Amino acid sequence: MLSRLFSWLTGQQIEPTIRQTNLRVLRIPGDGSPPHLVQLNTIESDDNIDCCQRHIPDFRPYWGDGEGFQWRDIIGMEVRDQQAAPELNGVYFGWKSFALHLMPLSKHTGFCGDAFFAKSPLWEHDDNGAVYEDVPVAFLGSSLLETALEKLHDR
């Protein structure tokens, strides 16, 4: 919170600290190309809506360093009892940017720019914040993806 106030008062952009936590997240491109899995490091997040995570995947290569990244929203969706594919069980966090003036509106998702999903074991945190694990490939073809997109869209 204080870093955002300092940034606003001084006009200086404060760079978040990059953590070497590399994880596989789901990227849903805003240009309508197929969703796919990408590897991202995480960065510290102490001054935004997702500050309780303490670190989040680094979306800046896709959203830019400024408002596209700063103006983001997050949802959490708990998935349990997936007997046919137990690797899908966990908590999925979805992010979208609402920097309408910076990124084109996707005809496919209704979001501006790309949307992303990361996975965590059921509501786990450690001393460093959120605990993440790779999004399973099975999430791509599951009905859970559509449910998660609807939830992110309604946010």
Q: Residue 145 contacts by C-beta under 8 Å, 6 or more apart in sequence? A: 26, 35, 117, 139
pLDDT in tens, 2-28: 454 455 455 655 555 545 578 999 999
Q: How far is CA 24 from CA 33, 81, 137, in A?
A: 18, 22, 10
Distance CA 15, CA 100 (A): 23
**To 5 degrees, how large is the angle CA 120–CA 87–CA 20?**
40
- pTM for the full model? 0.82
- What is the rounded average pLDDT of the residues 131-139? 94
Q: Percentage of residues in the chain with pLDDT exceeding 70?
A: 77
Asked if 47 and 4 count as a contact pair (C-beta separation under 8 A), the reply is: yes
pLDDT in tens, 80-117: 999 889 999 999 999 999 888 888 888 778 888 999 99
Asked if 95 and 74 count as a contact pair (C-beta separation under 8 A), the reply is: yes
Domain ranges of the chain: 17-154
Q: Is the per-residue pLDDT at 124 higher than 80?
A: no
